[in-house]
Amino acid sequence: MRTTIRWSSIALAVALGNGLIATQAVAQGEGFVEGASATLSNRTFYFNRDFRDNVGQSKREETATGFALHFQSGYTEGPVGLGADVLALAGIKLDSGRGRAGTGLLPVDNDGSVPNEYSEIRGAVKANFGGDTVLRYGYHLPENPVIAYEDSRLLPNHYFGYSITNTSIDGLLLEAGRMTDRGDMNDSAEYEDPYGFSGGTIDHDKVTYLGGTYEFADNLSASLYTSKAEDLWKRHFAGITHTAELGNGLNLTTDLAHYHTSDDSPAGEEFGNKATSLAFTLGAGFHDFTVAYQRMGGDAGYDYADNAIYLANSVQVIDFNAKDERSWQARYDYNFEGMGIPGLSFMTRYVRGSNIDTDFVGIDRDTRWERSTDLRYTVQRGALQGLDLTWRNATVRQDAGLDGGDIDENRLIASYTWTLL
């Protein structure tokens, strides 16, 4: 499940995508070395999930630290600029053990033990045509509604394949690609199974996607995407984001997202689903107030891999995506800059789901809820400027047979990034 506001991520991903291509276009004239950039990030993560129902494993608790090196070259000069990127990842166990593993921070061996470290290095080659079209082959960190990488644990996962991105029309981002392999967040291996449903052993889950986003104005954008996961499903996405200035320092952001998934599995699996969410966020100075509604329909719940769920009520632990589920969210955000403490922010939310098809899921209770809170501080000055500290807490109450049952969870995260080039 995703860990930030899903609905605003649509516009954010597009903005980042346009910015990335623009940066690459500039770099094309700067040369392979002159236009290069490199960062080294460290993340230290404590994860504790207490399963209150004591069904099977009673808790998962681990601490680890990870390093991620991102190198992006510039482009060679000429009508077609050539470049290369490198991603190097390393995770180190600080505390774990049999009976407590499985947080997603570290890999787990067949005997239940946890290795002391794991690492990997991946590369990609790229070509820039005319400054507005980029062709890429190798590792990818995709971020769109139908295929997206996950970065909610120690290190990001990645995909391997090829893609093309175009920004030749002002305000329009177009992208297409085909991913053939997937690397996990806590593993140094790559699997020929991007969605993971075949256990990483069957070469049939290749993912092809096509779509884009158009910014009609600074306050209005719309996205359309389609994808096909071979022998699993066909999926379509439509989303729209609009911000209205109400005066007196108030603004209202409306986010509508809809997925339509059709079953394409010959193995008797059921993936047919229609998922819709609608969210309203009222901004008032340093305060944000959000209400959201999410609805599941079709023959099954919304199934997905990694971060490809741009729905309002997909939150820290639960996605509220069971068959026929309806869910409401109330959320409040505050930026403590309003009290003279820049860099400190607070978020709390409550989401309640109901109307779960208990017969289909195989449970007794058709309701559940999650309450989660984030407190984050980024050091603003001094030797530790840029150090990011986050505490994330969640409480979940649901049927014991659904997504781990009752859960109490805490995450403590410290992260810092060095700019090398």
- The pLDDT value given to residue 55: 66
Residue 390: HSE in the Cβ half-sphere, 13 Å Cα cutoff: 21
Helix and strand numbers (H, E) in the chain are 2, 21
Instruction: Look at residue 405 and tell me if it is in a domain.
Output: yes
* 414 SS3 class: strand
Range of lowest pLDDT (70-84, 115-129, 188-202, 272-286): 188-202
- The pLDDT value given to residue 99: 84
**305 vs 44: which has the higher pLDDT:** 44
389 in Cβ contact with 20 (< 8 Å): no
Res 185 pLDDT > 80: no
Print the domain residue range for 44. Answer: 6-419
- The token pair at 32 is 């392979």
292 in Cβ contact with 312 (< 8 Å): yes
Res 193 pLDDT > 80: no
Confidence band (pLDDT; 50, 70, 90) for 284? Answer: very high
Q: What is the pLDDT of residues 213-268, one digit of tens each?
A: 999 999 999 999 999 998 888 999 999 999 999 999 999 999 999 999 998 877 66
Q: Taking all residues of the chain, what is their mean pLDDT, rounded to a whole number?
A: 89
The number of angstroms, rounded, from the C-alpha of 76 to the middle of its chain's C-alpha atoms is: 32
Instruction: Look at residue 28 and tell me if it is in a domain.
Output: yes
232 in Cβ contact with 265 (< 8 Å): yes
- The pLDDT value given to residue 363: 87
- The pLDDT value given to residue 204: 47
Give the 3-state DSSP-derived string for 164-184, with helices as H, strands as E and coil as C.
EEECCCCCEEEEEEEEEEEEC
378 in Cβ contact with 390 (< 8 Å): no
221 in Cβ contact with 204 (< 8 Å): no
Instruction: Look at residue 347 and tell me if it is in a domain.
Output: yes
221 in Cβ contact with 215 (< 8 Å): yes
The mean pLDDT value for 79-85 works out to 96
Q: What is the pLDDT of residues 361-392, one digit of tens each?
A: 888 889 999 999 999 999 999 999 999 999 99
- The pLDDT value given to residue 403: 81
- The pLDDT value given to residue 68: 97
- The pLDDT value given to residue 23: 44
Distance CA 29, CA 165 (A): 18
- The pLDDT value given to residue 94: 97
Instruction: Look at residue 269 and tell me if it is in a domain.
Output: yes
Instruction: Look at residue 142 and tell me if it is in a domain.
Output: yes
Range of lowest pLDDT (1-5, 49-53, 70-74, 99-103): 1-5
Instruction: Look at residue 1 and tell me if it is in a domain.
Output: no
The burial class, CB within 10 Å (0-12 / 13-18 / 19+), for 267 is: exposed
Of all residues in the chain, what percent carry a pLDDT higher than 70? Answer: 88
Reported pTM: 0.89
The mean pLDDT value for 286-308 works out to 94
The mean pLDDT value for 294-312 works out to 93
Res 56 pLDDT > 80: no
The number of domains in the chain is 1
- The token pair at 118 is 């794991």
Distance CA 209, CA 204 (A): 15
- The token pair at 308 is 């490809």
CATH number for the domain including 255?
Answer: 2.40.160.10
